[in-house]
Amino acid sequence: MRVRVRLVAWLRETAGRPEVALELPAGATAEDAWALLAADLPALSSRRGCLAVSVNRSYAAFDTVLKEADEVAFIPPVSGG
């Protein structure tokens, strides 16, 4: 199945692009999508612990099972003032 991963903030800057299309097997989770992304972009791999994930614009758990054409976003922490 094909999913679209949106990259925001420092993830986008590190990857050099705003989104990535991934091919995943049926039954893959958001965690699987992260693992594949990090394997392709090793500079991202150490950042997993601080990320949240959303699937189709709703916060989700990393064990959320993905479906064809889902939009996944990995969200770094934000701060403001």
* Alpha carbons 2 and 67: distance in angstroms, whole number: 8
Give the mean pLDDT of 18-22. Answer: 95
The pTM is what?
0.90
- Per residue in 43-81, pLDDT (tens digit) is 888 778 789 999 999 999 999 999 999 999 999 887 655
The closest of 40, 37, 47 to 72, measured between CA atoms, is 37
Element containing residue 75 per DSSP (H, E): strand 71-75
What are the structural domain ranges in the chain? Answer: 2-75
CATH topology assigned to domain 2-75: Ubiquitin-like (UB roll) (3.10.20)
Both structure tokens of 29: 């989770």
